[in-house]
Homo-oligomer: A and B are copies of this chain.
Amino acid sequence: MTAHRDQLDALGVAADHRQANGAGRTVPDATVARLALYLRALTSLADAGTATVSSESLASAAGVNSAKLRKDLSYLGSYGVRGVGYDVELLTEQIRSTLGLNQNRAVALIGLGHLGQALAGYAGFASRGFRIAALVDNDAALVGTFVRGLAVQHSDELENLVRAEDISIAVIAVPASVAQEVCDRLVAAGVTSILNFAPAVLNVPPHVDVRKVDLAAELQILSFHDNRKAVQADIEADAALAHSNGAGLSARAGQAGTA
């Protein structure tokens, strides 16, 4: 679990050189995660013909508060105009450049079950700076079929494809039982960033980044909050009851869903 933080903080020498893309500072992780949101909001503003936007309205379009947005943008540099706001096009360009999206990065997608097919067809990838350059599966029935104009290749070809297309980012959408094996092969072939949809912990060397999306975990987190709301509602009902008739505890504490 050596993390990025280490790499980010150990930049010392790097500072000067990185100004190639206009950003001289180190950008906090929490900020990086939101830049993608701002980008999406900016794109829809641009589509609507807006040329300039205030931190207040951009923040609301992205679903954050304006102080946070301004702080975030300040890490990229000073691209707003006081009393006016931000130029939509300029800011879009700055964020794209900070995220490294100006190179239309090639991405490999491993696993073409329903989820993989959904990912392959997801318009957002193409429109937001990524080109799916390789589709790989080990199911003979899928190999050779075309998904969005690209042929599915057999997994034997994985290493060749990664090298031929100079792919550094891969998406894993295979069953958990084979995720680590696929991961190892990707890393050996030169992939350095992985987005993992399999519900499994991937072990990788320190120079490789893994982000994971765990669908069931997301629901469980919601469940926690939902449960809390139900319990809270019960407590309030009890309080009201105690007030009105001096009685005590509700018998349904812990059983949710009544509200």
Binding site for B on A (CB under 8 A): 1-5, 7-11, 13-15, 17-22, 27-30, 32-37, 39-41, 61-65, 97-103, 105, 107, 113-115, 117-119, 121-122, 124-125, 127-130, 166, 168-169, 171, 192-195, 199, 201-204, 206-232, 234-235, 238-239, 254-259
Contacts and interface: CB of A to CB of B under 8 A. Distances in A.
Given A1-B201, A3-B1, A222 B231 contact: no
Given A1-B204, A7-B211, A226-B169, A235 B13 contact: yes
B130 A121 contact: no
Contact of A169 (B203, B215, B223): B223
Contacts of A7: 33, 211-212, 228-229, 232
Contacts of A202: 1
**Chain copies in the assembled complex:** 2
Contact of A223 (B37, B193, B230, B235): B193
| A130, A206, A219, A239 interface centre (most CB from chain B within 10 Å) | A219
Contacts of A212: 7
Nearest to A191: B226
Contacts of A118: 113-115, 117-118
A257 B168 contact: yes
Q: Which of A32, A98, A171 has the most CB atoms of chain B within a 10 A radius of its CB?
A: A32
B201 A41 contact: yes
Contact of A125 (B19, B122, B216): B216
Contacts of A65: 1
Contacts of A210: 1-2
A102 to B, nearest CB: 5
Contacts of A2: 1-4, 204, 206, 208-210
Contacts of A207: 229
Given A4-B29, A29-B5, A235-B13, A257 B223 contact: no
B192 A218 contact: no
Given A19-B231, A35-B224, 4 more contacts: A1-B204, A14-B231, A36-B217, A128-B219
B216 A211 contact: no
Q: Which of A17, A212, A230 has the most CB of B within 10 A?
A: A17
